[in-house]
């Protein structure tokens, strides 16, 4: 039940448009957010403290060993999970405090718009 609910939340988060209401694909032009100006700094600030392959096991705060956000390819590979757990309506990551709602909204926008 929980996994299907998480999947539904991810679909909803990713299905929300990031451009205007035209029929043109908006992925490349819908946002000025890029990995360089948003994604990487966000991941460094809020994710890599636990989700980095360079961290010793005892410093990962329980983060699964195979869930790492070392580079854009890794972040893209986990984008649905990131959208669900960090940018969805009931975020659970990071587990203590975390980014502001504005930053979470920007994360959702960046993911929706193709994580360029």
Mean pLDDT (whole number) for 45-56: 97
Q: Report the run of H or E that residue 11 belongs to, with start and end.
A: helix 2-15
Among candidate residues 104, 107, 112, 84, the one with its CA nearest the CA of residue 28: 112
**Per-residue pLDDT band at 30 (split at 50, 70, 90):** confident
Does a structural domain hold residue 21? no
**Residue 93 belongs to what domain range?**
29-112
How many structural domains compose the chain? Answer: 1
Does a structural domain hold residue 8? no
68, 52 contact by CB (below 8 A): yes
Q: Taking the model in full, what pTM does it have? A: 0.75
* pLDDT value, residue 96: 86
Mean pLDDT (whole number) for 85-102: 93
The pLDDT mean for the chain works out to 83
């Amino acid at each position: 039940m929980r996994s299907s609910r998480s999947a539904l939340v991810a679909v909803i988060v990713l299905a929300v448009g990031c451009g205007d209401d035209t029929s043109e694909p908006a992925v490349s032009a819908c946002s000025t957010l890029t990995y360089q100006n948003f994604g990487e700094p966000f991941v460094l600030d809020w994710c890599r403290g636990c989700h980095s392959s360079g961290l010793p096991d005892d410093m990962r705060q329980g983060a699964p060993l195979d869930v790492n956000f070392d580079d854009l390819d890794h972040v893209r590979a986990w984008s649905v999970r990131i959208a669900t757990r960090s940018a969805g309506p009931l975020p659970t990551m990071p587990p203590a405090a975390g980014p502001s709602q504005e930053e979470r909204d920007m994360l959702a926008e960046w993911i929706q718009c193709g994580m360029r």
